[in-house]
Amino acid sequence: MFEGNVFGDLDGRLCEALSESGYLKPTPIQEKAIPHLLGGRDMIGIAQTGTGKTAAFMLPILQHLLKIRKPRRVGHPRALILSPTRELAVQTAENTRRYAVHANLPLACLIGGVSQYGQVKDVKKGAEIVIACPGRLIDLMTQGIIFLDQVECFVLDEADRMLDMGFLPDIKRIISKLPCVRQSMFFSATMSPEVSRLAGEMVKDPVKIEISPDKPAVEKINQSVMSVAKSSKDSLLIHLLGTHPEWTKVIVFAKMRHGADRVVRKLNRERISSAAIHSDKTQNQRTKALEGFKKGDVRVLVATDIASRGIDVKEVSCVINLDLPLETESYVHRIGRTARAGESGVAISFVSPEERGLLKAVERFIKKTIRFDNDHPFLPEASAAGQADGLPQAPWNERGNAQGKKNRDGKKRRRKVNFAGRRQPDFRQKG
C-alpha cells in the first residue's frame, strides 16, 4: 500500500497503524524528514503548524525503538519530546499512541495543572517514551522519579513558542542532563536569532528542512474581514452561527480570558453549545472542553492564544477572530486550526475601526490583502458610507482646519491636542 513513499520503509506494525488511521500519502515535511531521521541524522525543521511534523519526527523514533530493543529501566526513558503547552503535549501523546497501537512501546505524558500521580504511575510502568512540558519534567527530575541519562532521541517541538513563553532556562537545564551521544530534532515555525542560537547548541551536523518558511500556509483558507463595532461583535458572531448551520466545528479566538468566558455565556444562552479554553481554566476543564469539541458535543470552542498552536482537531469548519491578535504571527497560527491536512477552510476576522492598524500589520505579514465582506446587518455607519478601507486618522494630524488660528507670520497653525486622560493599551495582559 505504501509503495513509492517513505511510509513503506517503516516497521510493519507502524504501517498497519498508519493504514488504520487513514495515512496513505506523506506530507512534504514527512517525505523530506523521515529518510534522514531513519538514517540517524540530527535535524532542524522549519515548518508552519498543521504540516504533519509530529508524524515526521515520531515515526522515525518509534522505528528506532522497535529496531533496537533494550531492557526497560524504570524512570530512564529512551526518547524525550518537549512541548511548550499542555494541549500540544497531550495531542502528541495521543498521536503517538495511535502510531504505536500495535507496538509494545509504553509512554508517559508529563504535564502540569493536574495531579502527578497517574503520570508517575506511567513512568514506573517502564515508559520508553516521555512527552513532557518543561516545568513538570523538571519537577519529577528533582524528585528523583525520572532520569535523562538513557535518552537516545530528543525532540524540541515549537521551539519559538518555548522561547516566547520564557522556557529557555528550563530547556538549557534539561539539555545539560542529556547524553552527549543522541539524535536531536529541533522544530520551529520561525527562526529568530535567539532560536537559531538555541538550535546551534542542541544539534550536531544537522539536516535542515524548510517547508515554505517565507510563505505562511494559508492558501487553502478562505479569509475575509467583517467591519463591525466592538459593541456588536458578539451579536455578529451569533448571527453568523445561526445562518451557517453547516459550520459544525468553529473555533473563536478572543484576546482576553474574561472575553472568552463572556462569549461562552452568551452563546449558551442562545442554545449554541460552546466551551472556553484559556489559562484560567484547570487542566481538567481544558481537557474536557477539547474532548467535547473533538467529539462534536461542543460546536464552538472559544479560546485565547494559548490554543492557537499545536492543537490538531479534524474538520474544523471555520475560525473566527473575535479580536485580532497583537502579535501578527499569531494570526497565521490561529487560522491554521482550519484547513488541516490539505483540506480547505474558512477564516473570518471581526475588525473594529480601532483595529485597522492591526489588520494592516497582518496583511503585511502574510503578503496578501484580505477581502472585506460587509454583507451583514451589523455594519458600522462609517463602513456603510464607504469609509471602511481607510486607516483612522491620527488625532494629532488635524488637516483642513480652515478656521484654525494663525501664527504671527499669518500661517495657519495646528490646534494643540490634549492627551490628558488618554491611555495606551496594556499589551502585557495575558490571554
- pLDDT at residue number 401: 41
pLDDT tens digits, one per residue of 127-153? 999 999 999 999 999 999 999 999 999
Residue 426 predicted with pLDDT over 50: no
Residue burial 358-383, b: 16+ Cβ < 10 Å; e: rest:
bbeebbeebeeebeeebebebbbeeb
Residue 417 predicted with pLDDT over 80: no
The secondary element (H helix, E strand) that includes residue 172 is helix 168-176
Query: Which residue is associated with the grid cell 513513499?
Result: 5
Tell me the C-alpha distance between 324 and 185, whole Å: 33
What are the grid coordinates assigned to 333, written together? 497560527
Tell me the C-alpha distance between 153 and 129, whole Å: 9
Please, what are the domains in the chain? 6-211 (3.40.50.300), 221-387 (3.40.50.300)
pLDDT tens digits, one per residue of 51-83? 788 999 999 999 999 999 999 999 999 999 999
- pLDDT at residue number 341: 56
pTM of the model: 0.65
pLDDT tens digits, one per residue of 120-134? 999 999 999 999 999
Q: How confident is the model at residue 273 (pLDDT cuts 50, 70, 90)?
A: very high
Residue 268 predicted with pLDDT over 80: yes
Closest alpha carbon to 136 in 73, 197, 190, 93: 93
Residue 386 DSSP one-character state: I
Residue 418 predicted with pLDDT over 60: no
Mean pLDDT value of segment 349-365: 89
Residue 288 burial class via C-beta count within 10 angstroms: exposed 0-12, middle 13-18, buried 19 and up: middle
